[in-house]
């Protein structure tokens, strides 16, 4: 980053963060504190009202605001591709806002930048490998987003991919929504479940009859969605071997449960981590005779049982 770009970036960073120390700015822009001191002096001499407080850092004088700056071609392309992603993966309201944002960005670009941006974008296309989000799921995103902001509980029917101990796959849940996370192309609700009395993860695609309740909730003071990491409950290791001819296809499948793989002359050896071995049953069967379960024996037996059932059907 050259000096001119760094000076502008410093002003924008102070405008965004409020107060920053020279050490913070040096770390942000990967330079020395001595250089930051010189930059602050240069900005002050140029008329930018920067105040410095010993021990606290630098800040812009109250009321100072840097007007919108022009975008480079690369910045404009990044923003416009971002609007494409929002249209694909968010609810209808944000999809509409993404479209209006795209028009505004294109409108303020200089003609030369707009032409070059259009040329670059013509060589890039964002295709959702996981498919477009369905209408019901988009409605759920919007409902849950509003419920989270209003701190209202929600109620919904939920279908699990495997039955509970009592054999039931379906249940009715009431939960306090803490936030939404996009994982491997699927939206997940992070919420405190009243039925389980703990923080749980719910796939929006498995929800139905979602309603917002009058009851309110309070966010735990120590909860931060950006720092949240789910408790690890996948403790079962599964070893699978794939024939060399399909090794590249298996790698491209990018299974959520795959933890490691090794290439050998006789094929690809993979390690998966799951809650129950049956979670990989359909995945294994989908590859036919080109993959073989090495362990555990319980999964080998389940594959054998399913193969025998299929043989009887044919």
Question: Which are the contacts of 110, defined by CB distance < 8 A and separation ≥ 6?
Answer: 70
Say whether pLDDT at 157 is over 80. Answer: yes
* Greater model confidence, 121 or 209: 209
Say whether pLDDT at 131 is over 60. Answer: no
Question: What is residue 200's predicted lDDT score, i.e. its pLDDT?
Answer: 93
Distance CA 30, CA 313 (A): 65
Sorting pLDDT into bands at 50, 70 and 90, what band is 133?
A: low
Chain CA centroid to CA 139, Å:
19
Q: What is the mean pLDDT of residues 300-308?
A: 95
Distance CA 175, CA 194 (A): 6
Are the C-beta atoms of 59 and 19 separated by less than 8 Å?
A: yes
Q: What percent of the chain lies above the pLDDT cut of 70?
A: 93
Q: Supply the DSSP string of 117-173, one letter for each residue.
A: HHHHHTT-----TT-PPPHHHHHHHHHHHHHHHHTEEEEEEEE-SS--TTS--EEEE
Question: What is residue 87's predicted lDDT score, i.e. its pLDDT?
Answer: 85
Question: What is residue 66's predicted lDDT score, i.e. its pLDDT?
Answer: 61
The crossing angle, in degrees rounded to 10, of helices 73-89 and 92-108 is 160
Sorting pLDDT into bands at 50, 70 and 90, what band is 8?
A: confident
pLDDT in tens, 56-96: 899 988 777 666 566 888 888 888 988 988 888 888 888 88
Q: What is the mean pLDDT of residues 187-195?
A: 94
Question: What is residue 69's predicted lDDT score, i.e. its pLDDT?
Answer: 62
Burial group, residue 254, by CB count within 10 angstroms (0-12, 13-18, 19+): exposed
Question: What is residue 13's predicted lDDT score, i.e. its pLDDT?
Answer: 86
* 3-state secondary structure (DSSP) of residue 89: helix
Question: What is residue 164's predicted lDDT score, i.e. its pLDDT?
Answer: 64
Nearest to 148 by CA among 97, 190, 196, 187: 190
Sorting pLDDT into bands at 50, 70 and 90, what band is 209?
A: very high
Question: What is residue 243's predicted lDDT score, i.e. its pLDDT?
Answer: 96
Distance CA 15, CA 59 (A): 8
Q: In the beta sheet, which residues pair with residue 32?
A: none
Residue 79 has which token pair?
Answer: 């923003």
Distance CA 224, CA 215 (A): 22
Question: What is residue 165's predicted lDDT score, i.e. its pLDDT?
Answer: 60
Say whether pLDDT at 139 is over 90. Answer: no
């Amino acid at each position: 980053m050259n000096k001119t770009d760094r000076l502008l970036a410093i002003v924008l960073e102070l405008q965004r963060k409020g107060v920053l120390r020279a050490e913070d700015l040096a770390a942000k822009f990967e330079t020395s504190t001595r250089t930051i001191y010189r930059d602050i002096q240069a900005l002050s001499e140029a008329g930018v009202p920067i105040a410095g407080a010993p021990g606290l850092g630098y800040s812009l004088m109250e009321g100072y605001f840097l007007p919108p700056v022009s975008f480079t071609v690369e910045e404009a392309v990044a923003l416009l591709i971002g609007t494409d992603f929002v249209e694909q993966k968010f609810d209808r309201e944000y999809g509409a806002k993404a479209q209006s944002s795209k028009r505004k960005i294109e409108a303020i670009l200089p003609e030369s930048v707009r032409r070059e941006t259009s040329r670059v974008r013509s060589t890039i296309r964002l295709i959702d490998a996981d498919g477009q989000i369905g209408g019901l799921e988009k409605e759920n995103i919007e409902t849950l987003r509003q419920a989270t902001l209003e701190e209202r509980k929600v109620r919904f029917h939920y279908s699990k991919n495997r039955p509970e101990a009592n054999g039931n796959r379906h249940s009715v849940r009431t939960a306090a929504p803490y936030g939404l996370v996009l994982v491997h192309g699927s939206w997940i609700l992070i919420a405190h479940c009243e039925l389980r009395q703990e923080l749980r993860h719910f796939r929006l695609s498995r929800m139905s009859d979602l309603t917002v309740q009058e009851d309110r909730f309070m966010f735990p003071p120590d909860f931060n969605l950006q720092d949240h990491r789910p408790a690890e409950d996948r403790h079962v290791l599964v070893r699978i071997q794939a024939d060399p001819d399909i090794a590249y296809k298996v790698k491209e499948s990018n299974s959520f449960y795959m933890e490691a793989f090794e290439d050998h002359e006789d094929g690809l050896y993979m390690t998966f981590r799951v809650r129950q071995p049956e979670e990989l049953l359909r995945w294994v069967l989908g590859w036919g005779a080109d993959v073989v379960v090495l362990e555990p024996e319980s999964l080998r037996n389940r594959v054998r049982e399913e193969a025998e059932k299929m043989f009887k059907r044919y």
